[in-house]
Structure 1
Amino acid sequence: MSLTQSLLLLAALVLASAFFSIAEIALAASRRLRLRQMADNGDTRAEAVMRIQEDPGHYFTVVQIGVNAVAVLGGIVGEGVLSPWLSSLLLCWLPAERAATGGFLLSFLIVTSLFILCADLIPKRVSMAVPEHLAVRVAAPMLFLTALLKPAVWAYARLTDVLMRLLRLPRAREERVTPDDILALTEAGAQSGALARREQQVIENVFELDSRTVPSAMTHRERIAYFLRDDPDPVIRARITEEPFSTYPVCDGDIDHVIGYVDAKDLFQRVLKNQPLSLVDENLVHKVLIVPDRLTLAEVLDQFRQVGEDFAVIVNEYSLVVGVVTLNDVMSTVMGDLVSPWYEEQIVRRDDHSWLIDGVTPIGDVKRVLGLEALLDEDEYDTLAGFLMVMLRRVPRRTDSVVWGGYRFEVMDVDSYRIDQVMATRVAPEGKD
């Protein structure tokens, strides 16, 4: 065999090894969701790849037979082609024995480097970048090789199955998609620019509905605008003017005895018809949905769907009213800063190192804005005020402060034991506790 023919054979072996490397990594890295999308768009090859993924044993057996056979042949051909030529070249400077040894070592290094770079590293990196596109291209040739080498594939596959059963190794890949998988994909999409950061945040907020409790989105007790059942017409009109809302709880004596709610549009219709406003009218007061304060936002949404309401009163374990929540409150939690500009911001950035935060701000929002991974005993509270109470082990007073996660949380204003404003100031390099 001439030198040219030997070099062409070596190049063909490198290409064959590259093909098997691509076939191996492309199948392993292909995402089933992406393949399903390709199949739905009419690419029948994607269906074949998914079927191979369901039982990839024979496929990988062919890959390993090819990789090892090509590697052995490549070593033989490379040593036979390059070693004599390099040995003769080294004879100009070295004795015959050392030149032969040096030619062998150099040929081994060159062939090995050639296979590592061109048949392993480069093909595998490309396969990791676009696995689905390559997997559908190599599927047909690999299926042909599987049929051609069926006896050898069957023998190796049976031996592999026996060994895996003896070693109790997993034999199938789990295809279950978890919320963490989806969030990881959206984060990767946001980092690459394929998904806007705000869109990624909305998706993350949707999954948080199952973990965030209703107090993180409700209007707290002291901010509730409500009517008493025996409020006269002038009082009702004045309350609507001073505190315009779409829905008002109706109470009997005090806020802890809610008997229903009244819709502002019903009141406006009576005003337009010059009818007196009286909450004694049972047709005006609707039955109110009462939910416990331990429900998650997802559970509240389910309650809204079941009863066909978009307003609920929140009570604690002592049957005391702690707040109210509306469908709009839950949607505002999901949409974050995409909601309309009239939405009151609870976290205001003063400069690069400090934020002014409302005490009732959900602790999840505080962590997100400040970039905190975790806080102490998070399951014991829902708001920033709760965090400060847990840290101080008492009701905070003005000027009290807590340092955590590289931030100092200082109480700026307290109103009747309620923490109104907290100043969060970075006191350590970002990301350092």
Structure 2
Amino acid sequence: MGSMSDERESSAASAPVLPEHVHLSPTTHETRMGYLSPNSLEMRNSRTAVYRRVSLLLLMAAVHYFLVSDWRRRPGWQPDGAPIRGSAGIRKVGEVCHVDATGKEERIRNRHAIIFDAGSTGSRVHVYEFQFCGSKLNVLVDEVFEEVKPGLSHYHADPLQAAKSLKPLLDSAVARVPPDTRKCTPLVVKATAGLRLLPEYSVTGILQNVREFIKTHPFLLGDGKLSHSEAVAVMDGSEEGVFAWVTVNFLQDKLRPGFTSMPFLPDETSVVMDLGGGSTQIVFAIARDGYADIDPLKHPQYYYRLALHGNQVDLYQQSYLGYGLMEARKNIKLAHIQKMLADSSDGRALRFPCYTKGHKEDVDKSGKMFALTGDSSGWDACLNVVRPVFRKEDPCLVHPCSFNGIHQPAIRTKNLIAFSYFFDRLIPL
């Protein structure tokens, strides 16, 4: 299982020799988005600036803000108009891009949106620059990304310091957004599994301090309609997965303004799998006529009906809190310590078959430190340690199930996008 420390930097910088079926494009960014093809196990970075830097959580929120939220119903929004894409690409600001039947001209303009992704291992800011033709989304022009570590949850005992940890990120946003548009540039902060795992009183203190700290900076907290408590909040696990699905499929041109003119084909969209530090998400579209034995509306804990550009899209979604890479590692070690203590009373060293022989690590269990020592017992011994944590024997109340008694229907699409730690862990293979 290795160390519980965040290993993204070491894996990104190690530059391993890759097998022929694994392809990576050059990038200067630390975290990369990978594509996993089930047929060829092909992994590659994106070829455009949109994909270059994806911790990915919250381009999803920016896309949701511009494409899904109430903002789209403001005057001038044309939900059925096709975006200016393809050969048109990025246009010159101020250029006439459309003339309606009355002769009214619409011009190219750029807008920014600032998204803070407060993850379990670090906080990141994404400053997105979008281009519009009038009020119609054209293209994502650019993204600025910065990250600080540790994440907000690290400061659970000092909420003011949690807020101050975001200062370098806010400074980067100020430097990027033109002074004359800062006051109307929306900013939201969405926290994920790191804060979902904390007690409510700790979360409340951190979020309140973050809100007050951001108010000292020249941005629009929220979008003018969101309350400040909504603009700085913990994202529900289902939202996290759904926004990721929207983002990935939007970037693949499978969702776009105007796609109401075409039939929506769920099997042509991509499954999204996000392995974070504290939780794991899986989301995919389902065809209503293909799951006759399942009524999504009767199982809202598993299904999400998304209204997008006039379409109703049924998504299967599940967020496995506690099954992110770091949290799962911790839980596996703690479960093993508990079992070893129950099986032994002679005080011998606690051996851990998932470590290499001789590797040692101190693990905190309820304020008491235990030393785990690797003994190289092999794959089967390690699997026997890991398997109970996934509770495959739990009752399945809504068939079929994956683990922990969690319902999951069959995946029928051939397109699978796996990112975050899925990508990082597969690079050295």
**TM-score (norm. length: structure 2):** 0.20
Relative to its length, the structure with more helix (as a share) is 1
Relative to its length, the structure with more strand (as a share) is 2
- Structure with the bigger RCO (C-alpha within 8 Å, sep 6+) is 2
